[in-house]
Amino acid sequence: MKPLEICTLRLRTQGLADNPFPAAPAAVQALGAVQSQDYAGAKWALSVRSGATDAELDELSDAGRILRTHLMRTTWHFVHPADARWMLDLLAPRGRQAMSFMNRKEGLTPSDFKRSKKILEKALRDKQYKTRNELAEILKKGGVEPGQGVRLAHLMMDAELEGLIISGPRHGKQFTYGLLEERAPRPKTMPRDEALAEMTKRYFTGHGPAQAADFAWWSGLTLTEVKQGLESVKSELETIEAGGKTYWWGGAAKASSNPKPAAPVVHLLPNYDEYFIAYKDRSAIGERLRERKEKAREGLFFRHILFIDGQVAGGWNTLAAKKNEPLSIEPVGKLSAAEKRGLDKEVERYGKFAGIGSGPRLKN
């Protein structure tokens, strides 16, 4: 199997082609989790996969239909409320391990964390949602010095990994925290081996074809744990050999009956999108650049990315574009007439989502 074929299949498993997900919460649940430290970008990532509008996604987040927490790699992720508890139980040990060095550097002790969690629980009980700054003041009054930056962030992350707190509804444009048991009152729990099997299946059916090392990178789990997970669900997955690498995935029969689309498939994806951030080996998405002997301009991959048929084809401006202003899109190399038509449709879709003017301003 060639890199282009791998990308075509990934577009399908991620809901970016053929059959998008019926709703944003379903997309989050099928993918396992969706990276979301850029809240605006993550909303667009879900919209592309489900058709939800910007306003609808704000409502879903505020209502707790999708939640945000530091789930993997000590990074913000959207997670389905039904999955929050068991995923945190599975991944928290690796998160705490990643935090340990900075905890020592900041002088944070087990007693600091224990005391802060008691204070946070009391402050947030009965849906008394509060912002991080408000909770910092409450911690300080309770005798726990929140400090600035890393120290406060680690106090909050520890409580998140414990399954005590999670995202609450926004106050205006400010994010808040609430208690997990109140935001997700009936979350699933399961033994660790079952949780590992379920997480493995979610990743490879929602991101495949992918390698074991990709799953380890995405989840933060060790390769030993990944191999255990694959062993437990291998009968439910398919394997593909390509370039001396083994790829795992689900849904092979469905995808094999769908040939590559005749028209170019164009996506304007945000930074940190699951389509590329979820893989350690990202070589498959660079085939277009290699075939055309094109070089990506400096800084391109720190922006939002233009994809054509699942391949990197350029960059585009930030999601903070002003209303009634066209997007600034910078392709790498020339686009064909068909690709430009596909791009026009994608820009129109984004314009409806974000409420900005249509008509891309191409830069070469």
Question: Does 123 have pLDDT greater than 60?
Answer: yes
Please state, as a whole number, how many other Cβ atoms lie within 10 Å of the Cβ of residue 190: 14
Give 148 or 231, the one with higher predicted confidence: 231
Q: What is the pLDDT of residue 257?
A: 46
Point out the least confidently predicted range of 64-68, 224-228, 263-267: 263-267
Q: What is the pLDDT of residue 324?
A: 63
Q: Which of 190, 127, 135 is nearest to 159 (CA)?
A: 135
Question: Does 45 have pLDDT greater than 90?
Answer: yes
Handedness of CA 190, 70, 98, 159 (dihedral sign): negative
Question: Does 255 have pLDDT greater than 60?
Answer: no
**Confidence tier at 148 by pLDDT (50, 70, 90):** confident
Q: What is the pLDDT of residue 253?
A: 41
Given a contact cutoff of 8 angstroms between Cβ atoms, the answer to whether 71 and 119 are in contact is no
What are the residues facing 246 on neighbouring strands?
Answer: 241
Q: What is the mean pLDDT of residues 237-255?
A: 81
Q: What is the pLDDT of residue 364?
A: 54
Question: Does 361 have pLDDT greater than 80?
Answer: no
Q: Is 81 helix (H, G, I), strand (E, B) or coil?
A: coil
**Confidence tier at 289 by pLDDT (50, 70, 90):** confident
Point out the least confidently predicted range of 251-255, 266-270, 335-339: 251-255
Q: Is 305 helix (H, G, I), strand (E, B) or coil?
A: strand
Question: Does 278 have pLDDT greater than 60?
Answer: yes
Residue 133 burial (C-beta neighbours within 10 Å; 0-12, 13-18, 19+): exposed
Question: Does 290 have pLDDT greater than 70?
Answer: yes
How far apart are alpha carbons 297 and 151 in whole angstroms? Answer: 37
